[in-house]
C-alpha cells in the first residue's frame, strides 16, 4: 500500500502537563481541542509534515460509553503494560482509497466530530491494548489553521519508530511497518523515537520516565 505517516499520539495523564517538557526544549505548541464522543482532549505539536499529539481522558464516562468506546482508552489508561501510542496513516500524494480497499483488517469508526460519511478505519488489533492503535484515514483531513502560523515548520519528521515489548506480528502491524516514515520494532518497553530533520544538529532528548519518548533533531 502507498501509505505514509500523518501523525502519532501518546496517551498521557490528565491535562497533558508533560507536554510542557517539549516547550522547555524550544518546541512551540499548537492549538488544543477536544474529541466529543471519545471523552478525550489533546495538546498538539505540529511539524512541517506531521504532528505529535498528547491525548488524555477528559470525561471517563464518555470514554467508556461514547461513540469512541471501542478505542478502549480507559483500559489503556489504567493498565501500566498497555501501549499508550497511536498512529494515524494516510494515503501518499493525497490519493484516497475506496472503502472496500482498506490497507488492513479493521472496523469503521464514525467520530461525532466528522461529517458522515467521513470515518476512521481502525485496525483489528485495537482489541489488544498492548499494541498501538493503528488508524487509517481514507479521506483528506481538514487543514488546521495552526499550520498557517508556520509553527515548528522548520522541523520535519524523518522517521518515527515505535517499540513494543512483543515479538508477535500481525497483519495490521506488518502493514503499518511498511508505511513511509514509520517503523514498528520489538523492544524491552513501550517507547517511541521521533527523528526530525534527519538528526542534522545531533541533538537528543530522552523524556523518560515522564514520557516514553526520545526525540532526535
* CATH architecture under which domain 3-152 falls: Roll (3.10)
Q: State the Cα–Cα distance between residues 185 and 23, nearest whole angstrom.
A: 28
Looking at per-residue confidence, does 92 or 84 come out higher?
A: 84
Cis peptide before 169 (omega within 30 of 0): no
Which grid coordinates are listed for 124?
A: 483489528
Is the previous residue joined to 117 through a cis bond, with omega within 30 degrees of 0? Answer: yes
Query: In terms of Cα–Cα distance, which of 173, 165, 154 is closest to 191?
Result: 165
What is the widest separation between alpha-carbon atoms in the chain? 46
| Sign for the pseudo-dihedral over CA of 1, 112, 13, 83 | negative
Per-position DSSP letters for 52-74, written without gaps between them: EEEEEES-HHHHHHSTTGGG-HH
Band the pLDDT of 16: cuts 50, 70, 90.
very high
Distance between CA atoms of residues 82 and 41, nearest Å: 19
Q: For residue 167, what pLDDT is reported?
A: 67
How confident is the model at residue 94, as a pLDDT? 57
Q: What is the pLDDT of residue 99?
A: 46
* pTM across the whole model: 0.93
- The arithmetic mean of pLDDT across residues 183-203, rounded, is 96
pLDDT in tens, 149-170: 568 989 999 999 999 998 677 9
Amino acid at each position: 500500500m502507498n501509505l505514509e505517516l500523518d501523525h502519532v499520539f501518546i496517551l498521557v495523564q490528565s491535562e497533558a502537563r508533560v507536554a510542557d517538557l517539549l516547550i522547555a526544549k524550544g518546541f512551540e505548541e499548537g492549538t488544543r481541542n477536544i474529541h466529543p464522543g471519545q471523552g478525550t482532549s489533546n495538546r498538539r505539536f505540529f511539524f512541517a509534515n506531521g504532528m505529535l499529539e498528547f491525548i488524555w481522558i477528559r470525561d471517563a464516562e464518555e470514554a467508556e460509553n461514547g461513540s469512541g468506546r471501542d478505542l478502549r482508552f480507559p483500559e489503556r489508561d489504567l493498565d501500566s503494560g498497555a501501549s499508550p501510542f497511536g498512529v494515524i496513516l494516510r494515503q501518499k500524494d493525497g490519493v484516497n482509497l475506496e472503502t472496500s480497499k482498506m490497507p488492513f483488517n479493521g472496523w469503521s469508526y464514525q467520530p461525532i466530530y466528522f461529517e458522515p460519511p467521513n470515518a476512521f478505519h481502525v485496525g483489528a488489533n485495537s482489541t489488544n491494548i498492548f499494541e498501538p492503535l493503528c488508524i487509517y484515514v481514507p479521506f483528506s483531513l481538514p487543514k488546521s489553521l495552526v499550520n498557517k502560523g508556520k509553527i515548528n515548520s522548520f522541523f520535519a519528521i524523518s522517521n518515527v519508530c515505535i517499540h513494543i515489548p512483543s515479538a508477535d506480528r500481525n497483519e495490521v502491524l506488518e502493514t503499518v511497518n511498511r508505511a513511509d516514515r514509520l517503523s514498528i520494532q520489538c523492544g524491552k518497553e513501550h517507547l517511541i523515537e521521533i527523528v526530525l530533520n534527519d538528526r542534522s544538529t545531533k541533538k537528543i532528548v530522552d523524556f523518560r520516565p515522564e514520557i516514553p519518548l526520545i526525540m532526535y533533531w
